[in-house]
Every structure is written in structure tokens, then in C-alpha cells.
Chains A and B, each alone.
Chain A
Amino acid sequence: MGQQDNNNYVTNSLFSLEGKTALVTGGSSGLGLIMAKGLLCNGVRVVIASRNQEKCDMAFTELSEFGECWALAADVTDSEDRARLLQFVEEKLGGLSILINNAGANWGAKLEEYPDDGFAKVINTNLTAVFSLTRDAVPLLSKSATAEDPSRIINIGSMDGIHVPIVQRVPTFAYSSSKAALHHLTRSFAVELAARHITVNAIAPGFFESKMTDYVFEHYKKDIEDDCPLHRVGRPEEMVGIVTYLASRAGAYTNGTVIPVDGGTSISKGRRPWTE
């Protein structure tokens, strides 16, 4: 059936990703691993990257069950690694129709003890490296892009880049600032790259179960649920859902947006006074 055939009530071409190619940074664990798996299940050929060779190997073994996948150990904050990664993507995938900038870092400390190099490290990973990798990936993205089916860049921001985190016993000054900046970088890139048939959007997740949230869940899960109108944390398929929407025909005209997937936490007024 045709890509836009309205007459078929069985399949849903509107959300098809069949035949696309993707690079997921930070793809060996957490949300990155979930998104990579979701893409593979929908017929996308996927390269994942993460710093740690051992974690890459483990993720590769897990992901290969679901589709055609490659993993490369690479640090997106390192320019030589970025070049090596993009060359690898070109060899394996030919072009690139979906880039998911997911690799991220966090640093938590009290204000008086918050170090300059910790702040810089977070900004470098969450913002600067996304800029550099995206800039260098544009030729590959252009190669796969058409006016009808633009290539997609999806940046993983955070609801903490929209509001100041309420569960803040461990302050994350650099993290929330870097994510707010990433949201705006998303808009800048969206305007710049649209003429080359590349759309750029961000997802701003709330709390999902991942290694990054183990600590806060252990201590504050009830607070987190109370602050969320849906009274729960996110489920893996809800990250796959938003990525599939943005990367498919359904999301082809959506450009420069930041879409919170946070159960309404960032639009809800704080329920509890926060003191400590």
C-alpha cells in the first residue's frame, strides 16, 4: 500500500519507520537503550555509541535480537571520536535519517561546593558536544533527506530545563541549565536546517526508571509521584512512542518544538512547599 493511503484500516503507514537509519548517542543504557530498541523493533537500522566498550558490547548483544544494529565505543565530547563515529555511521548505514542526541552527564553538589570543572563537564557533554556532533552530521543527514520525508534530529532535553527541579535535595545547577540551553539550541538548529529538509525537535522527559534516576527514586519516589498529575513515572514505551511520532510521516511538519513527556509535572503548580 502507498505511504499515505487512507483506505487501509489494518496497517498504519502514518507511523511507519521502515527502512530508516538512526544514530543514538548514549545508546548503551537507560533511555538511549530503550529508544534504540524501539527503533529496531520498527525496522530501523541503528548505530549506538557510548564511551564504554564493555557497555557497548552488552547493549549490542541485547539489541541485535531486535534488528540490524551496530555499536561503537566513542566519546562525543572528543572531536577525533566524533569523526570516527560519523565515518562508522557512513560505512554501516550509508546515510542518516534520524540522529538522537541522547548522551548526557549530570553533576550534583551543594552550591558552595559546586566545582567549576563539574559545571563545565556537564555543559560540554549536554550542550557543546550536541552542537559539534550535529554540525558534523549534517552532510550525512542531508544525504537521506527529502522534502516529503525530512531527516530528523531529536535532542533529549529534560523537564528540568523547563522548570527548576522540585526534587532538588541534590542541586543540579549545570544539568538544568544545560538542558534549557539545549532546548533553545534545538530551535536555532530547526530554523537553520529546515531549508536542507532536516527537522529538529527536543523531547523533555520527566522521571523514567534509569540508572540516572536510581538514587532519587530510592529517596524521593513518593514526592516525584505526588508532583506528577498522573501520579507515576514514565514507562519505556512512552519514550518509544514520542520518538516514533517525531521520526515518522506523522511528525514531518513538527519542527523546533520541545515536547515534555513528564506526566504533566512541568505544567503543574508545586503541591508541596519545599524546604530543607
Chain B
Amino acid sequence: MNLFSLEGKVAIITGSTKGIGLAIAIRMAEHGAKVVISSRNQDACDEVASAIREKGGVAIAIACNINYKEQLQELVSKTEQQLGKASVLVCNAALNPYFGPSQDISDEAFDKVMHANIGSVHRLCQKVLPGMAEMGGGAVIIVSSIGGLKGTDALGAYAISKAADMQIARNLAVEWGPKNIRVNCIAPGLVKTDFAKALWENPEIYEATVSKYPLRRIGEPDEIAGAAVFLASAAGSFTTGQTIVIDGGGTIAS
């Protein structure tokens, strides 16, 4: 058997209609997983799922706003009805409504970040992990960020939520390890997605940005998707509770 095969596994990927989530969904489908495409917009989900099916993969589309517990439950229930219990969960959807000093963030914006970015991961894991244990084990991959590793004067609440992801991974790795469930984070640096377009579209801004990174370039979505496939597959089956930083060396160099 191929070490990186995900043949037959059901994988839920939140925020998978663009960027990193999309790359993860495409690569997981390519490696044999039955993928659940999910984001707030049903049309966008349908489009991605049908594109994957056209290329020979198995994919369904279930829209879900991660802010609502009932919708998270729907996501899990519909997945079970249509494909069976998930043995791979990728918590990728997150939001960042505020840019500026922590001094000035409103209570509403702060709570919104914690509720969506930390709360949804916690709640989705609560709903998915018991079923995963029944399947004999599985893998959870939380897409965190290098923002959770350093101090910041502009992305404070977001960075707190991304640091929390790393602790969720450690907690759940210890709690669910005996049931053969592994929980890890990926902490990407700057990646070539729409989310970061402002930083790579303009050549001058791009050069100024990457001059601080040892590899002198930003990452490609596939370079994050590769780690996700690794962590979900037999190749990564002794790695748990960890955060894999993928930033070309940016964090250790600064």
C-alpha cells in the first residue's frame, strides 16, 4: 500500500472552496479520500465538488457557517448520511475581521474571532471525534498560522486564536491518542492565496516581503496541502500533538 494513500477515507475540510482549504481538498481527493467540500456558500461548494468529481475524485458539497453550532451538526450528520463517518477532519475555516492595535478592538470583534476560530474547532472536534474513534481512529488537522508563534501589534486577536489551535491539538492528542486519533496543526506562513493577494500581486511589495524570508519566496498552496496529506495518511501515523511550521524558515529567521 502506498504510504500516502487516503483510499476510502471520508475527509471533511472546512473553508475548502478556495486557497489552502481548496488545495488540501484537491490533494486529498487525488490520494483517494472522499472529500466533503464546505464553506458558507452552497454554490461555491457545488462548483468545487463537481470539478473534483469531473477529474475522477469523490466529493460532496455541504455549505456550513462555522459560527453556528447547528450548522456544524448538520455538516457532520449529512456527511455520515451521504459518505459515512469521517476519519479525517481538516479545520481550516477561520476569520479575521479586525486589523489594528489590541487597544482598539471592540468586544464584539474580539469575541467573534474567539468564537469562530477557537470555538468552532473545539465544537466540530466534539462532534466528529467520537465517530472517528468508532471507525478505529483517524486524524484531525487544524490549519493554524505562524501568527500564533510571535508577538504582533496589528493582528492580536487573530494571533491569540491561532496560538489556541496549537494547544487544542496538544490537548486532544493526549485525550484521544488512546483511541488512535491524532491531532496536529499546520502553521503556514505567507501563502499564495486570494487571502494574501495584497502582499504578492504587486512586485515591489512582494520583494519587500520575501526579502525577510530565508527562501526568498512565498509558499504555494500545494506546499501546505502536502503536509495535510502526510498527516492524514499512514506516513504520518506516529505524529500527534504537533505544529508543523511551513514558512520557508521565516519564523526562525526573525
Contact = CB atoms under 8 A, between A and B. Distances in A.
Interface of A: 4, 6-9, 12, 14-15, 147, 150, 187, 190-191, 194-195, 199, 206, 228-231, 234-235, 237-238, 240-242, 244-245, 248-257, 259-264, 266-269
Contact of A199 (B215, B220, B239): B215
Contacts of B248: 194, 253, 255
B125 interface: no
Interface in B41-63: 55-57
A244 B235 contact: yes
18 contacts: A6-B55, A194-B215, A229-B177, A237-B3, A242-B236, A245-B226, A245-B235, A250-B225, A253-B215, A253-B223, A255-B215, A255-B249, A256-B253, A259-B239, A259-B242, A266-B241, A267-B174, A267-B242
Interface of B: 2-4, 26-27, 29-32, 55-57, 170, 173-174, 176-178, 180, 182, 213-217, 219-220, 222-223, 225-227, 229-230, 233-242, 244-249, 251-253
Contacts of A15: 3-4, 226, 229-230, 235
Contacts, number: 173
Nearest to A207: B238
A8 B30 contact: yes
Contact of A230 (B3, B182, B226): B182
B140 to A, nearest CB: 13
Given A9-B30, A242-B235, A256 B222 contact: no
B230 A6 contact: no
Contacts of A228: 177
Which 3 A-B pairs have CB atoms at the shortest separation, nearest pair first?
A250-B226, A229-B177, A241-B235
Nearest to A38: B3
